Structures are given as structure tokens and as C-alpha cells.
Amino acid sequence: MIDIRNLTVAFGGTRVLRGIDLTVQARESIGLIGGSGSGKSITWLAAMGLLPATAEVGGSVLLRGSEILHAPRPRLERLRGGTVGIVFQDAAAALNPVRSVGWQIAEVLRLHRGMVGQSAQDEAKRLLDQVGIPQARQRLGAYPFELSGGQNQRVMIAMALAARPAILIADEPTTGLDVTIQAQILDLLRTLRQEMGMALVMISHDLGVVADICERTYVMHAGAIVEEISVRDLHTSPKHSYTKRLVAAAPPWTSIGPLADHAALPGQGSVRAPIENLA
Ligand SMILES: Nc1ncnc2c1ncn2[C@@H]1O[C@H](COP(=O)(O)OP(=O)(O)OP(=O)(O)O)[C@@H](O)[C@H]1O
């Protein structure tokens, strides 16, 4: 689906990405984990051609076999088109404050699927239903400021899904939300991936989140990938010292923490356990 080779990024001669190699297969769920400033977001922004022109970008990014790095914008938009959906961390900042959520979803439907009028409204309502917004028909007219943080995050996911992407990139989609809402959003992403057969890239500084939802993960440190590891092997065979430190620091109740049920399979949602226990 995506094949990134030797991706480099520099700003004003200062290197922030040092030769990233990364692949995503159809339908798989991968993590990109690392500390603040390690280069997780820059990797995807560069790969998708979303960095400002001041960024010096090198390497190769194949999307379904076609080179998209440095592709002219119309070609890039055509290639990227409905293939890749992106969910950012801060929904409140990413959504347009002066347009209703129904309008914003309908706009994606118009651009990517040529839908207009009542059929776009009906599809927007169906998408809000799908991401778990109650009273979806009435909510089409709501503005982002009228919704909670978790609901805005769901709207962003609905917008990403509206283009029917084959791959969904979620950049810290639960940061800033309280733990209960975080667990609900992770559940939603897990369910949607299964229902829609999408690949999922989960970018997070939280190893528990990645271990909960992904099958394998890349570990980033200081602008480089230091390890690629299956989530199953995180307990037993992390090789790089940075990965070992991440595993050691994982909260005890997560899929990878010391109290984890080691028989649990990745993606089965053990991060939910403490929330259920607290309820
Ligand atoms: N527009 C820019 N100009 C210069 N440097 C930048 C720019 N954007 C990002 N950087 C630098 O690139 C590095 C990687 O940033 P990136 O946002 O990818 O980190 P991250 O791993 O996603 O961190 P976080 O979890 O905090 O979001 C950082 O050192 C950051 O300061």
C-alpha cells in the first residue's frame, strides 16, 4: 500500500528525519511510536506531501506503486485522493469553525465521491451514525463549538472515512481526551478498520495505545527508526535500548505493562481494562 524508502527531511539545513524506511500493507494496522520531537508527524506529513515548501525532502514514497514524493500537486491529489484518510490530534483546530459538521462532511463527499444534494446529506448522516454520534440527522447542522472534544474527534474520523480511504493515518487521535473517551475512540477505530478493511497507521507517544490496536510497530528516536517489532514480541524481545525503556515505562494495566495478560492478543483492547474496573 505504502512503501517509504530513505525518507529524509531538513529545515534550513538541519536534518529532522534521517532516512526512514517503512511499509504498510493492505489491511494491516501499524504503529509509529516515539517521544516528542522524534519525527513521527513529520514522517507522514512529508510522505503525504503536506509539509511547507521550506522543507527539504528526499527519498521515495510509493503509494500503491506510484511515486508521490515531489509529484505535482494535481497528480498528488489524484493519487492520494480517496486512498489516504488522515485524522489529526486537535479536531477543534482542524475543523472549520464557521461551517456545520454536515457541510464539512458533505464537502468531502462532493470532492471525493461526486455526491451532492440529498444523497450527500444522507451519506453524511450515515457516517455520523457510523462513528457513534447520537441523533445524527439533527447533528448535521451543529458547529464544532457545539460539540464535545470526543464528538469533534468522531466528526474528523467521519470526514476521513467519507472518502472511503484504503488507509487511515491517525496522528495522536486521542491525545487531550479523557481516558474513557480515549478508549471509546480506540474502540471505534478498531471496529471501523475491521468493518471497512482499511489499513491503519497509529501515530502515538503512548506504547499502550499502539500495543492495544496495532499488529506491529516502528519505534522512532531522534529522527530515525530504531526498531520495527511485532506487538506480540514487545514483552520478550525488544532489541533497541530505547524500545526497552518504552516497554519498562508502560503503565502496568496496558497490553504491554507488567500486569498485562500476556495471553491477550494485540488489538483486543486490554487498555480498556482499568476503565471498566473503575466504572
Ligand atoms: N516547520 C518546521 N520547521 C522546522 N522544524 C520543524 C518543523 N516542523 C517540525 N520540526 C521539527 O521536526 C522535529 C520532528 O517533529 P515532529 O512533529 O515530527 O515530532 P513528533 O515525533 O510528531 O512529536 P510530537 O509527539 O511532539 O508531535 C522536531 O524537532 C520539530 O521541532
129 and 183 assigned to the same domain: no
Burial zone of 222 (CB within 10 Å; 0-12 exposed, 13-18 middle, 19+ buried): middle
How high is the pLDDT of residue 257?
Answer: 58
Question: Over the chain, what is the mean pLDDT?
Answer: 86
266 and 241 assigned to the same domain: yes
74 and 192 assigned to the same domain: yes
Structural domain harbouring 101: 92-164
Query: How far apart, in whole angstroms, are the C-alpha atoms of residue 228 and residue 239?
Result: 9
Q: How far is the CA of 88 from the centre of ligand 1 (A)?
A: 14
- With 80 as the cut, is the pLDDT of residue 67 above it? yes
Q: What is the pTM of this model?
A: 0.85
Cα–Cα nearest to 118, from 135, 102, 129: 102
Q: Name beta bridge partners: 11.
A: 14, 55
Cα torsion 79, 2, 165, 156: sign: negative
Query: pLDDT band at residue 4, thresholds of 50, 70 and 90?
Result: very high
List phi, psi (to 5°) of 250: -65, 140
Q: Which atom of ligand 1 is nearest to the CA of 51?
A: 1
110 and 246 assigned to the same domain: no
Q: Express each pLDDT in 132-170 by its tens digit.
A: 899 999 999 999 999 988 899 899 999 989 988 999 999
- With 80 as the cut, is the pLDDT of residue 271 above it? no
Domain count, the chain: 2
Mean pLDDT within 160-183: 87
181 and 263 assigned to the same domain: yes
Name the closest-CA residue to atom 28, ligand 1.
Answer: 37
Q: Beta strands 14-24 and 2-11: pairing type?
A: antiparallel
Q: Express each pLDDT in 200-256 by its tens digit.
A: 999 998 888 888 899 999 999 999 999 999 998 887 888 999 998 888 887 666 666
For residue 139, give Cα distances in angstroms to 111, 130, 199: 21, 13, 28
Which residues does a 6 A CB cutoff place in the pocket of ligand 1?
11, 16, 34, 36-42, 52, 205
| Domain's final residue, options 118, 144, 164 | 164
| Domain's final residue, options 131, 147, 164 | 164
How high is the pLDDT of residue 252?
Answer: 65
How high is the pLDDT of residue 118?
Answer: 95
ipTM of this complex prediction, to 2 decimal places? 0.94
